[in-house]
């Protein structure tokens, strides 16, 4: 600790940080542009100047850029000194010379760092009255809007895009005062993390294009803390609504999960909520018109449930609460997890590995700090994008040690990068296909699932020094295994990343073995396993039967009614099987928010709320339970799935559900029924939580149009809806200070209207939020964590004649069900295809783009091929979840047969 | 006693004074142009809608009686998709006019807005938009702003240089 004097007041501050960060830590208002907490300092904008004094007798002092100056004990500085204030005022005056007169039509206005800093420095009137420079804009794809006139040349965008996120196609062009930040030529930005530019840019050069289509100022949004539903990582988001539609998603800082950033799938995938394919009213299919009232739909559904045996099918994209209420409603024996066969086993195995491993279960932010990474079977950029971004930071850890050894502070970004150049820490990737992360990898191993698992087992053996469990391992693989083992043993905090997308238990087994072996060698080894969907882990913790058994039960006539919760079964099993299942069901009750092939089969369809219209808890891939809140009030006909099911329970007078009416009634019941989920009731404060007797408002104090927005329909204003499930209000009335970290509806602080207000909510810059980061880990180390050693390394992959071994290929845009419905994401979703090895293609006499007909199970496929040099012979890559690619259990064998004749019809259901 | 009589005398004298009240509605009052009455949305000198849907009037409104939604025409010009003022809530404070960066929203000297039905006091854009510039003549926001819109490309606004040639190395 060091003592520094700011304006003659002493402060105890940690050493090693820069002055700007220290001042912001102390909640002082000091303007800055080019500095970013995740990216360090470069001293480019000269905005954060302070006066530093030699000693207490020095009355003159000298100006210094606070972001470039380390804290020294006994240092004296002044933020309020007139000299420094004038300097900052002049700097912003210069930065603003070419800034256009655009605020009124600029999407950044109201959450603009440049506006905030201009006000903070007191640069009230422009002194510059000459001509301004103008620039042509570029088309940058469906996510971002470009308005280059507004640029203040702070370089944050290229530093983020190139240095932090590893993008290649955004750069700075031109010279001296003609700088241009954009692409070499117009086109879609290639990075999956481009959306963060909208938040990184301190002004309106890059803005959210999807928000522009229904533009709303930040102060007019009704916002609530939410959790991203588009992959298993559970990044924290803030969802904003206006006039009944969801308007945008912004980052909700969580020091342990996503930090300052989000991926584009999470940021732009929200528009499915506003989709025309939404189910907004309950439907009863036995009558015309089908749309009906809530009461009638409930009555119909209750009628179906009360006679005969009922089974329930849960969903990994529904909250823990919804699944639990369904499980309670139908009874434990009649509850089935609505996940495909492979996913069921893999997630269950994931959970077992996490519970039993001796290694540390990594959080997303911890991966950034690991200094050696091994990825087994996961194309992270496409399956868990933010994890790929974290891995890109981890490859810098080992080179950064050199920087630290030279006593250069790590936040000296330009100096550190100059020293590091292209040096990368160890990153080993074993996947089926080349991935985007390969460019930063030390070694890449492209092979079949079996070979990847074999390599993994071999590495574990090399680490422990035991004889190899893997039969007839090739020389090349053996050498690679030795190299990887050595690199992992040299590291301090090695990370092993694997997950369910590899499609094989043996790959996860290998990953667990390696992590345990490293732990035994005294390393701070960490393990991270991805899961298929946002609540796959939560659903599995509730535990129950397979989807197959549900089909069997129906086939044997042991049940007649099925309740399907937010699930499209055609994405979980082969369409023939699902069709057969539905034909055997007497009654089908479906709760969902989007029309899917499954909802077509429903007799009663109940309109469930999406994440923006529901409260719930999700358990992410590391077992962290996180709560998402309803963003805006809905009409009576649209409500949370758990509320529908609760009302169904009340209608049939279900004994266990007596007296349940709000969210808080479910949580204690979950803990009683599932002790492993203990702690879920403490994730957020309960609905009766108050600060100074007040709830927390979802709307800002500047929220406008309260007495006018509904006046078009009726000038008499209705009473605002109350929220019985949370300590948040749907209005602007309530406590105005900082809310507890798990219920922060928006980041705002006086003078800080942009996202940068996060600084005021953190215990320290880049650290946890006040009161600790939200979310509670459900999986902690216990005496069960014995680090089970898994044996049974698989045998070599053997190609089969007239067969292709299909491996899954995931896509950031398109593979996930909900986000694929968002128009912006849909624009970037690829057309269906099949990846084929070049020799296989030659043998089949196929050229790129020609169609190949094949059969998986009973289902025929007919897809254009893409030729790959790297995919193993005898295997082929089939995209998962894309529109037009029906479900198949992957990895698995496909039959190639010249007798197969493709007919247009069978592919109707996707 | 004296004060009582004096008061009566002064009151009596008023009978011969010039009348201060006017016989509204037969006789109309003369109001200054700065009088804060009914709110209108004006047009710029080219006849385009002045309002750019920046939401500042709505944010400034102390009774929150203005609501609007921004949208854009194909050329990038921003305008309100709807613009609604609930005059049954309006207190005619004029903050909206002060906040307006484009002189679009203006309070005019007209107060005759009595209605029997409160719903009729909800004015939509068609009720608010006038066919002129109102009190402030000659101002056209898009001639000053840097955005390119239909009829005004980059570099064609006031005090702007033509778009930068990125490939040029000239100073």
CA distances to A38, A220, B98 from A237, rounded to whole Å, are 18, 18, 36
**DSSP-assigned letters across all residues of A193-262:** TGGGHHHHSSSSSEEEHHHHTT---GGG-EEEEEE--SSTT--EEEEEEETTEEEEEEE--BTTTTBT--
Q: What is the pLDDT of residue A909?
A: 46
Q: Does domain A345-531 correspond to CATH entry 3.40.228.10?
A: yes
Q: Give yes or no for residue A784 having a pLDDT over 80.
A: no
Q: In the A/B pair of chains, how many CB contacts fall below 8 A?
A: 138
**Looking at the complex, does the CB of residue B165 fall below 8 Å from at least one CB of chain A?**
yes
Quickly state the pLDDT bin for A899 (edges 50, 70, 90): low
Q: What is the pLDDT of residue A345?
A: 94
Provide, as residue numbers in chain A, all residues whose Cβ is less than 8 Å from the Cβ of B115.
none
Q: Give yes or no for residue B170 having a pLDDT over 90.
A: no
Q: Does domain B45-144 correspond to CATH entry 3.30.70.3270?
A: yes
State percent of chain A over pLDDT 70: 99
A-facing residues of B in 40-59 (CB < 8 A) are 52-56, 58-59
Q: What is the pLDDT of residue A904?
A: 58
Q: What is the pLDDT of residue A175?
A: 86
Determine, for residues B59 and A243 on separate chains, whether the beta-carbon distance falls below 8 Å: no
H/E stretch holding A78 reads strand A76-78
Q: What is the pLDDT of residue A907?
A: 47
Rounded to whole angstroms, the Cα distance separating B102 from B86 reads 21
State percent of chain B over pLDDT 90: 81
**Looking at the complex, does the CB of residue B99 fall below 8 Å from at least one CB of chain A?**
no
Rounded to whole angstroms, the Cα distance separating A580 from A573 reads 11
Quickly state the pLDDT bin for A858 (edges 50, 70, 90): confident
Determine, for residues B63 and A136 on separate chains, whether the beta-carbon distance falls below 8 Å: no
- Read off the pLDDT of each residue in A518-534 and give the average, rounded to a whole number: 94
**Residue B96, marked binder:** yes
Determine, for residues B122 and A102 on separate chains, whether the beta-carbon distance falls below 8 Å: no
Provide, as residue numbers in chain A, all residues whose Cβ is less than 8 Å from the Cβ of B102.
104
Q: Give yes or no for residue A804 having a pLDDT over 90.
A: yes
Chain B nearest CA to A608, separation (Å):
27
Q: Give yes or no for residue A910 having a pLDDT over 50.
A: no
What is the Cα gyration radius of chain A?
Answer: 28
Q: What is the pLDDT of residue A903?
A: 63
Determine, for residues A705 and B124 on separate chains, whether the beta-carbon distance falls below 8 Å: no
What is chain B's mean pLDDT, rounded? 93
Question: pLDDT of A150-196, one tens digit each?
Answer: 999 999 999 999 999 999 999 999 988 889 999 999 999 999 999 99
Tell me the CA end-to-end span of chain B in Å, nearest whole number: 92
Chain B nearest CA to A815, separation (Å):
31
Rounded to whole angstroms, the Cα distance separating B13 from A530 reads 95
Chain A nearest CA to B94, separation (Å):
16
Q: What is the pLDDT of residue B35?
A: 93
* 3-class secondary structure per residue, A438-490: HHHCCEEEECCHHHHHHHHHHHHHHHHCCCCCCCCCCHHHHHHHHHHHHHHHH
Provide, as residue numbers in chain B, all residues whose Cβ is less than 8 Å from the Cβ of A101.
144-146
Query: Which site among B100, B166, B167, B168 would you substitute to test the A interface, given the most A Cβ atoms closer than 10 Å to its Cβ?
Result: B166
Sign of CA dihedral A878, A881, A885, A891: positive
Rounded to whole angstroms, the Cα distance separating A388 from A394 reads 10
- Read off the pLDDT of each residue in A463-474 and give the average, rounded to a whole number: 89
The topology under which CATH files domain A2-95 is: Ubiquitin-like (UB roll) (3.10.20)
- Give residue limits of the domains in chain A: 2-95, 345-531, 803-907
* Structural tokens at position A726: 């949370």
ipTM of predicted assembly, 2 dp: 0.90
Rounded to whole angstroms, the Cα distance separating A250 from A223 reads 10
Provide, as residue numbers in chain B, all residues whose Cβ is less than 8 Å from the Cβ of A102.
145-147
**Looking at the complex, does the CB of residue B144 fall below 8 Å from at least one CB of chain A?**
yes
Determine, for residues A219 and B124 on separate chains, whether the beta-carbon distance falls below 8 Å: no
State percent of chain A over pLDDT 90: 87
- Read off the pLDDT of each residue in A607-616 and give the average, rounded to a whole number: 95
Chain B nearest CA to A229, separation (Å):
28
Q: Give yes or no for residue A786 having a pLDDT over 60.
A: yes
Q: What is the pLDDT of residue A908?
A: 45
Question: pLDDT of A861-887, one tens digit each?
Answer: 999 999 999 999 999 999 999 988 899
Backbone angles phi, psi at A723, to 5 degrees: -110, 105
Place of tokens 């002790």: A675
Question: pLDDT of A618-663, one tens digit each?
Answer: 999 999 999 999 999 998 899 999 999 999 999 999 999 988 999 9
CA distances to A207, A386, A510 from A235, rounded to whole Å, are 21, 8, 27
Q: Give yes or no for residue A781 having a pLDDT over 90.
A: no
Backbone angles phi, psi at B95, to 5 degrees: -65, -35
Provide, as residue numbers in chain B, all residues whose Cβ is less than 8 Å from the Cβ of A706.
64
The CATH class, in words, for A803-907 is: mainly beta
Question: pLDDT of A548-605, one tens digit each?
Answer: 999 999 999 999 999 999 999 999 999 999 999 999 999 999 999 999 999 999 999 9
Cα atoms found within 13 Å of the Cα of residue B49, Cβ hemisphere only = 21
* Structural tokens at position A154: 């702070």
List the one residue out of A234, A267, A233, A231 whose CA is nearest residue A249: A267
Q: Give yes or no for residue A308 having a pLDDT over 90.
A: no
Backbone angles phi, psi at A347, to 5 degrees: -65, -40
Q: What is the pLDDT of residue A471?
A: 86
**Looking at the complex, does the CB of residue B87 fall below 8 Å from at least one CB of chain A?**
no
Rounded to whole angstroms, the Cα distance separating A642 from A892 reads 36
Partner residue opposite B86 with nearest CB, options A174, A217, A715:
A715
Q: What is the pLDDT of residue A785?
A: 79
Q: Give yes or no for residue A760 having a pLDDT over 60.
A: yes
**Residue B57, marked binder:** yes
Where does A491-584 have alpha helices with state H? 505-520, 536-542, 547-555, 575-584
> Are the C-beta atoms of A789 and A104 separated by less than 8 Å?
no
**Residue B65, marked binder:** no
Q: What is the pLDDT of residue B51?
A: 96
- Read off the pLDDT of each residue in A49-61 and give the average, rounded to a whole number: 92
Question: pLDDT of B2-33, one tens digit each?
Answer: 999 999 999 999 989 888 888 899 999 889 98
CA A661 to chain centre: 31
Determine, for residues A178 and B166 on separate chains, whether the beta-carbon distance falls below 8 Å: yes
């Amino acid at each position: 600790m060091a003592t520094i004097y700011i304006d003659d007041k002493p402060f105890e501050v940690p050493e090693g940080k820069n002055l700007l960060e220290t001042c912001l830590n102390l909640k002082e208002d000091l303007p800055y542009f080019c500095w970013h907490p995740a990216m360090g300092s470069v001293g480019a904008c000269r905005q954060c100047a302070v006066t530093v004094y030699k000693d207490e007798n020095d009355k003159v002092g000298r100006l210094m850029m606070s972001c470039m100056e380390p804290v020294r004990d006994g240092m004296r500085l002044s933020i309020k000194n007139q000299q420094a204030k004038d300097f900052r005022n002049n700097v912003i005056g210069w930065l603003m010379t070419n800034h256009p007169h655009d605020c009124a039509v600029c999407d950044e206005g109201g959450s603009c760092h440049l506006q905030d800093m201009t006000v903070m420095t007191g640069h009230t009137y422009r002194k510059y009255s000459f001509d301004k420079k103008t620039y042509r804009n570029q088309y940058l794809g469906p996510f971002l809007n470009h308005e280059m006139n507004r640029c203040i040349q702070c370089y944050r965008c290229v530093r983020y895009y190139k240095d932090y996120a590893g993008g290649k196609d955004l750069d700075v062009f031109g010279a001296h005062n003609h700088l241009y930040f954009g692409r070499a030529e117009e086109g879609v930005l290639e990075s999956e993390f481009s959306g963060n530019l909208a938040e990184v840019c301190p002004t309106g050069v890059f803005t959210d294009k999807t928000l522009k289509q229904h533009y709303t100022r930040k102060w007019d949004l009704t916002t609530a803390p939410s959790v991203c539903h588009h992959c298993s990582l559970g990044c924290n988001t803030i969802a904003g609504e206006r006039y009944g539609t969801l308007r945008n998603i912004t980052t909700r800082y969580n020091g342990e999960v996503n930090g300052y950033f989000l991926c584009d799938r999470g940021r732009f995938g929200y528009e499915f909520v506003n989709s025309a394919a939404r189910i907004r009213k309950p439907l009863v299919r036995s009558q015309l018109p089908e749309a009906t009232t809530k009461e009638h739909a409930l009555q119909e559904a209750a009628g179906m449930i009360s006679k005969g045996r009922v089974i329930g099918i849960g969903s990994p994209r529904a909250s823990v609460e919804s699944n639990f209420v369904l499980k309670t409603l139908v009874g434990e024996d009649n509850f089935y997890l609505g996940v495909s066969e492979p996913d069921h086993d893999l997630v269950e195995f994931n959970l077992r590995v996490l519970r039993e491993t001796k290694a540390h279960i990594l959080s997303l932010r911890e991966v950034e700090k690991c200094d050696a990474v091994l990825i087994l079977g996961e194309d992270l950029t496409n399956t868990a994008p933010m994890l790929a971004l974290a891995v890109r930071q981890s490859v810098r850890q080992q080179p950064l040690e050199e920087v630290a050894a030279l006593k250069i502070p790590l936040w000296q970004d330009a100096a550190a990068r100059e020293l590091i150049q292209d040096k990368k820490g160890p990153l080993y990737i074993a996947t089926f296909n080349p991935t985007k992360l390969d460019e930063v990898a030390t070694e890449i191993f492209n092979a079949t699932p079996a070979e990847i698992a074999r390599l993994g087992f071999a590495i574990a053996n090399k680490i422990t020094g035991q004889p190899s469990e893997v039969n007839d391992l090739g020389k090349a693989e053996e050498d690679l295994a030795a190299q990887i083992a050595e690199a992992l043993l040299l590291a301090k905090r090695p990370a092993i990343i694997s997950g369910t997308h590899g499609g094989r238990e043996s790959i996860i087994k290998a990953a667990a073995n390696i992590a345990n072996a490293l732990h035994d060698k005294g390393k701070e080894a960490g393990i991270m396993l991805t899961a298929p969907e946002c609540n796959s882990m939560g659903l599995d913790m509730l535990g129950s039967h397979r989807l197959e058994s549900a089909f069997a039960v129906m086939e044997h006539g042991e049940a007649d009614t099925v309740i399907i919760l937010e699930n499209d079964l055609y994405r979980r099993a082969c369409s023939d099987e699902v069709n057969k299942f539905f034909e055997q069901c007497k009654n089908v009750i479906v709760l969902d928010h989007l029309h899917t092939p499954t909802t077509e089969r429903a007799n009663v369809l109940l309109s469930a709320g999406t994440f923006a219209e529901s409260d719930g808890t999700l358990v992410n891939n590391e077992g962290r339970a996180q709560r998402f809140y309803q963003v805006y009030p809905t009409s009576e006909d649209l409500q949370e799935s758990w509320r529908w099911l609760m009302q169904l329970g009340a209608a049939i007078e279900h004994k266990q559900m007596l007296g349940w009416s709000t969210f808080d009634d479910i949580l204690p019941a979950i803990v009683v029924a599932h002790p492993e989920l203990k702690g879920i009731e403490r994730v957020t404060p309960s609905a009766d939580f108050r600060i100074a007797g007040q709830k927390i408002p979802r709307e800002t104090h500047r929220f406008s149009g309260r007495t006018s927005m509904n006046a078009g329909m009726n000038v008499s204003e209705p009473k605002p809806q109350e929220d019985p499930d949370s300590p948040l209000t749907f209005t602007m009335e309530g406590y105005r200070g900082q809310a507890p970290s798990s219920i922060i509806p928006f980041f705002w602080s006086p003078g800080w209207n942009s996202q940068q207000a996060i600084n005021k909510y953190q215990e320290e810059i880049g650290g946890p939020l006040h009161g600790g980061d939200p979310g509670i880990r459900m999986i902690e180390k216990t005496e069960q964590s014995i680090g089970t050693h898994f044996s049974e390394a698989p045998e070599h992959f053997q190609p089969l004649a007239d067969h292709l071994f299909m491996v899954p290929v995931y896509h950031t845009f398109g593979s996930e069900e909900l986000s694929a419905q968002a128009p912006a994401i849909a624009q970037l979703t690829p057309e269906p295809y099949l990846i084929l090895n070049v020799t296989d293609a030659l043998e089949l006499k196929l050229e790129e783009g020609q169609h190949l007909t094949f059969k998986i199970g009973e289902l025929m496929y007919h897809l254009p091929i893409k030729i790959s040099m790297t995919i193993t012979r005898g295997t082929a890559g089939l995209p998962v979840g894309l529109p037009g690619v029906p479900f198949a259990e992957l990895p698995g064998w496909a039959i190639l047969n010249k007798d197969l004749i493709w007919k247009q019809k069978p592919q109707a259901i996707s | 006693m004296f004060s009582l009589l004096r008061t009566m005398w002064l009151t009596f004298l008023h009978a011969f004074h010039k009348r201060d009240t006017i016989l509204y509605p037969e006789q109309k009052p003369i109001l200054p142009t700065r009088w804060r009455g009914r709110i209108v949305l004006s047009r710029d000198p080219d006849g385009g809608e002045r309002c750019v849907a920046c939401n500042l009037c709505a944010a400034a409104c102390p009774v929150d009686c203005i609501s609007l939604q921004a949208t854009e025409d194909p050329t990038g010009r921003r305008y309100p998709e709807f613009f609604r003022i609930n005059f049954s809530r309006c207190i005619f404070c004029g903050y909206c006019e002060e906040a307006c960066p484009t002189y679009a929203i203006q309070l005019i000297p007209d107060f005759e807005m009595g209605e029997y039905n409160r719903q009729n006091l909800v004015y939509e854009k068609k009720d608010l938009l006038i066919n002129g510039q109102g009190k402030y003549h000659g101002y056209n926001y898009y001639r000053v702003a840097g955005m390119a819109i239909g009829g005004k490309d980059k570099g064609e606004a006031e005090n702007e240089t033509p778009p930068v040639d990125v490939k040029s190395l000239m100073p």
